[in-house]
């Protein structure tokens, strides 16, 4: 082999080795940690149909789990706080007709609920004509 060919081969090998050491290794790249926050708050509802409606309203991207407890009137939600803010969770529930401790459902949506799902009393501050 001629000296020029030896030098060219040597530079090629050095170049390949240097590229191999500068490329990130899949072992060195840590996966992004999943951010999860759990929150519970009160939601007005009466029955299994309410439970289904509330949990379905929360079946969205960024929400990992949502469980509504009829007896305690509490919803527990595990979600990604980088994708959703707490107030958005309250709004999702209010949009399907259920009051939370931060957001009240509009009367129009509330009145469209089946009778078994209506939880407001006539003297409720959020009753008909007051919202």
Comparing C-alpha atoms, which of 86, 106, 97, 84 is closest to residue 57? 97
Note if the pTM is more than 0.75.
no
Percentage with pLDDT > 70 across the chain: 73
Q: Span 37-117: which CATH code? A: 3.30.70.100
CA distance 85 to 2: 69
pLDDT at 123 over 80: no
Scanning 58-106, the segments in alpha helix (DSSP H) are 86-94
Comparing C-alpha atoms, which of 67, 48, 25, 56 is closest to residue 116? 48
Condensed to tens digits (0 to 9), the pLDDT of residues 108-120 reads 999 999 999 999 9
Mean pLDDT estimate for the chain: 85
Condensed to tens digits (0 to 9), the pLDDT of residues 19-40 reads 556 655 556 676 777 789 999 9
Q: Where are the domains of the chain?
A: 37-117
CA distance 47 to 118: 10
pLDDT at 76: 98
């Amino acid at each position: 082999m001629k000296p020029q060919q030896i030098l060219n081969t040597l530079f090629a090998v050095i170049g390949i080795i240097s590229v191999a050491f500068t490329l990130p290794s899949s072992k060195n790249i840590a996966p992004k940690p999943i951010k999860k926050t759990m929150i519970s708050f009160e939601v007005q509802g009466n029955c299994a149909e309410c439970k289904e409606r509330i949990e379905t309203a929360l079946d969205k991207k960024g929400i990992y789990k949502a469980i509504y407890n009829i007896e305690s009137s509490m919803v527990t939600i595990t979600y990604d706080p980088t994708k959703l803010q707490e107030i958005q969770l309250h709004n999702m529930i209010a949009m399907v007709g259920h009051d939370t401790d931060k957001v009240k459902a509009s009367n129009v949506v509330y009145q469209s609920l089946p009778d078994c799902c209506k939880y407001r009393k006539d003297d409720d501050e959020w009753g008909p004509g007051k919202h």
